[in-house]
């Protein structure tokens, strides 16, 4: 029977606290966006380009950005966003296939086809919310972290 040390419990609780704080941050952003009268008028009139409005609105209010931060260490237990941040920190910028290769090199036990699909969805979402930078080249994007 393995024993769990207080060090492991504290690490787990700190990790869980950080995850919950991130969720609260996202909820606060959604509430602030939905409560803004300018955006409500735009919804009513139907004249809203949601991506541009949302990103510019959150930056105007001086809210903390949703940008991924530089990750200098890697842990297989990290969420996918932090793993992406680690790979982008190490390669500076790259296409989806570069990120897949970087993650697969760090965790060869992962199914590469499943990883490609997960990354495609997650990178698209991170780009949409402004968490990462993407330069469109032909029909694909070169991703990087904001500096």
**What whole-number distance in Å separates Cα of residue 99 and Cα of residue 143?**
9
Q: Could you tell me which residue, 58 or 83, shows the higher pLDDT?
A: 83
Same domain, 49 and 94: no
Cα–Cα nearest to 78, from 107, 99, 114:
107
Q: Which of 65-74, 78-87, 111-120 has the lowest mean pLDDT?
A: 65-74
Q: Please state the domain count of the chain.
A: 2
- Confidence band, pLDDT 50/70/90 cuts, at residue 1: very low
pTM reported for the whole predicted model: 0.55
Same domain, 91 and 126: yes
Same domain, 55 and 104: no
- Confidence band, pLDDT 50/70/90 cuts, at residue 4: confident
% of the chain surpassing 90 pLDDT: 29
Structural domain boundaries, residue 27: 6-60
Domain-located, residue 67 = no
As to burial, measured by CB atoms within 10 angstroms (0-12 exposed, 13-18 middle, 19+ buried), residue 39 is middle
Domain-located, residue 68 = no
């Amino acid at each position: 029977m393995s024993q769990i040390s207080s060090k492991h419990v504290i690490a787990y609780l700190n990790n869980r606290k950080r995850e919950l704080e991130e969720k609260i941050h996202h909820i606060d952003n959604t509430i602030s966006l939905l409560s803004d009268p300018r955006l409500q008028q735009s919804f009513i009139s139907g004249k809203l380009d949601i991506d541009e409005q949302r990103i510019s609105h959150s930056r105007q209010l001086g809210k903390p950005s949703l940008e991924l931060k530089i990750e200098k260490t890697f842990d297989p237990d990290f969420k996918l966003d932090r793993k992406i941040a680690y790979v982008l920190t190490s390669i500076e910028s790259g296409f989806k296939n570069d990120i897949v290769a970087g993650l697969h090199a760090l965790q060869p036990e992962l199914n590469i086809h499943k990883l490609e699909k997960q990354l495609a969805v997650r990178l698209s979402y991170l780009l949409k919310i402004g968490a990462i930078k993407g330069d469109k080249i032909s029909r694909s994007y070169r991703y990087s972290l904001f500096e």
